[in-house]
Structure 1
Amino acid sequence: MSAGLLLILVAAPLCLWLTGILRRYALSRNLLDVPNARSSHRLPTPRGGGLAIVLVVLGMLPVLWLLGWLEAGALIGLWGSGLLVALVGWLDDHGHVRVSWRLLTHFAAAGWGLVWLGGLPPLPMMGAVWDMGWAGHLLAMVYLVWVLNLYNFMDGIDGIAGIEAVTVCVGAVLLSWLAVGQAGLPAAGVTGVLAAACAGFLFWNFPRARIFMGDGGSGFVGLMLGLLSIQAAWVAPELFWAWVILLGVFVVDATLTLVRRVVRGVPFHQAHRSHAYQHAARRLGRHPPVSLAVGALNLFWLLPLGVLVVLGWLDGVLGVLLAYLPLAWLAWRFRAGVGE
């Protein structure tokens, strides 16, 4: 067994152990999410457990670099941007950081990561390769900030954020292998570590949450997924569209919810529980079936479409549209963005 694969296997139990420590810390500091009218849970629950994911991933990034599984630029970009987002999220978990300051930090972190990853590479679209230059880099920054924040928005019921991260990352590793063979596995090392760390956290968060990920953890995971999709695009450009497809459930639900709320005149930053997945959880009276359904959609609907894109049998943009249209219909059926 290679050292890189061993590192991935160690990440899960290490994160499980650290999450338990953080749970005790949260209880001792009374760092609890107390249910209110906008909550999807019923009991006061510790928060901030996602810091375990942050510590494991950031701790293993330098090791992956030493093993040759990560380039120096990617190490600096992922480490610096991830730390910045985790720090502002951790502060917000302990008190309150103004929305404007959080957004400024998010854009700074996204910019830092993009610079060290080399920006957005030329992407295949509709039979041609498009190099969008600075416009592409700016769009990529907005994309990263949106993925970061939508991950926070979607982390509202037991297990959903962890299951999303694990299934997306496992799918992305498979797609990387299909795209470039064994040469793609080292580039997918961070993706594997992130999946394993989130799996360790899930022990405490599913099927019943004994601790929540918190803003620091969810923002970090969201940003990592976005940056890893851009890193993968430098390995094989079609992988970017495959990643966007894999992230479809979260992207569609969060985006449709935001648009419908803005159209209704509701402040976009106001806390709520009108996402499609929240409506679905209330309708079923339980969280686990909804979180498991998200994982199933990722593995049995979105991943096969990603395979078609990576193998060149389906254009990336068309693949995204084909993947997202049924998800948009589902989100609409479950009243995404509509108040209770």
Structure 2
Amino acid sequence: MWQWIAIYAALGAAGTWLARVYALHSRLIDEPGERRSHSVATPRGGGIAIVAAVLIAAAALGIRFPSHAPLALAFAIGLLAIAGIGWVDDHRPLSPWLRLGVHAFAAAVLAFAVWHVLGNVWLALAAFALAVGLTNVWNFMDGINGMAASQAALVALALVWLGGPVWSWLALALLAACVGFLPFNFPRARIFMGDVGSGAIGYAVAALCVLAASGLGLRSGLLLLPLAAFMVDSGLTLLRRVRRGERWWTPHTQHAYQVWARRIGHTRVTLAYAVFTLLSLVCVRYVTEVRTGFILCMGAAWYMSGAFFWWLIQKTGRETGDPIS
């Protein structure tokens, strides 16, 4: 196991370093602006290293476990599609509807494979919805140093426990690759993940959740707990923007983590979100054998607590005169 971790952490670190060299050479730079949360021009596209590491891991698992090769192949096709459209978008902005179309294609490939291999139409529908949803959630939430990679690593840790004898190895590769990327992005960002990484990581998390759910049955609700921080912040912020009649698909800095980061800085916010997710991992670790009803009640309470913190952060932002929140 430790050799596997070391390999993919090294791939994540080396790939990120190479991506930074390429970004600087190609002038692939994120400039500060009113719709961004950083104040220093920073290269982007480092997430391609995580994508490459996870693709290698998926290929290795497909070879090692031939019966799982069709699912591994579908996963890889979807990951490549989302990373590819993100890579293009990092170089020249594309229509959000074109990106969404590619996300839907990748989700459909995953859903078809789940239906064809596992024979579960409901799980296939969940795969499609979760893949489209988390691809965009991770893209929305990749706005401050370390946030997207640290949350992906923590969710992957939960999936190592819950993913079963095969897919837990893919979750471990994702965890290790994110750990390899993080020193370049946190606490000081020498490179950003970019759309190539954020969307693809969201897709990978969604696919791993669905594959873990295939073996968890009624306990699948546990998988929603580690996702709470991102699901609550992105979901409530999106709903508020829709209610206000805003162009919800355009870039903005209205998420709770962005409002909070303007007050206390990137590092503290990223760590606070990490603590919230770590607490959910403790719950996941110790309640795997309890009844389904208790899991659902605990999940509802956890999401309600997240919604309360979202409201509190947004309210505090308004009271302190935040011009955007």
TM-score (structure 1 length as normaliser): 0.88
More helix by share: 2
Aligned to 1:172: 159
Following superposition, the deviation at residue 276 of structure 1 comes to 0.4
Equivalence for 1:110:
107
CA offsets 1:72-119 (integer angstroms, 9 cap, x no match)? 122111101000000000000000111111111101100101111238
Q: CA deviation at 1:305?
A: 3.0
Where 1:269 maps in the other structure, the secondary structure is coil
**Structure 1 unaligned runs (5+)?**
123-130, 177-183
1:180 is aligned to: none
SS in structure 1 opposite 2:314?
coil
State the alpha-carbon separation in 2 of the partners of residues 99 and 21 from structure 1: 28
Residues 47 and 63 from structure 1, CA distance in 2 versus in 1: closer, same or farther, beyond 3 angstroms?
same
- 2:288 aligned to 285, 303, 310, which one? 310
Q: Are the structure 2 counterparts of residues 268 and 197 from structure 1 closer, same or farther at C-alpha, using a change threshold of 3 Å?
A: same
CA distance in structure 2 between the aligned counterparts of 1:85 and 1:216, rounded to whole angstroms: 7
2:321 counterpart residue number:
none
For 1:218, the equivalent position in structure 2 comes to 198
Report matched runs for 1:105-144 at 5 Å.
Answer: 105-118=102-115, 133=121, 137-144=124-131
Could you tell me which of 144, 155, 159 is aligned with 1:157? 144
1:294-327 C-alpha deviation (Å, 9 max, x unpaired): 1111112x12332355212453432321210000
Match of 1:26 among 19, 23, 45: 23
Counterpart secondary structure, 1:310: coil
Q: Note the residue ranges of structure 2 that are not aligned, 5 or more in a row.
A: 319-323
Give yes or no for contact 1:70–1:187 (8 Å, CA) kept in 2.
no
Q: Distance in 1 between matches of 2:129 and 2:286?
A: 27
CA distance in 2, matches of 1:142, 1:175: 20
Q: Do 2:71 and 2:117's aligned partners in 1 also have CA atoms closer than 8 Å?
A: no
Matched with 1:16 is: 13
Quick check: 2:78–2:110 contact (8 Å CA) kept in 1?
yes
Partner of 1:230: 210
Cα distance, 1:156 vs. partner? 0.3
The answer to whether the 8 Å contact 1:171/1:299 transfers is no
State the alpha-carbon separation in 2 of the partners of residues 281 and 49 from structure 1: 22
Contact 1:50–1:218 (8 Å) recurs in 2: yes
Which residue of 71, 79, 85 maps to 2:76?
A: 79
Q: Determine the C-alpha separation between the residues in 2 that align with 1:118 and 1:139.
A: 11
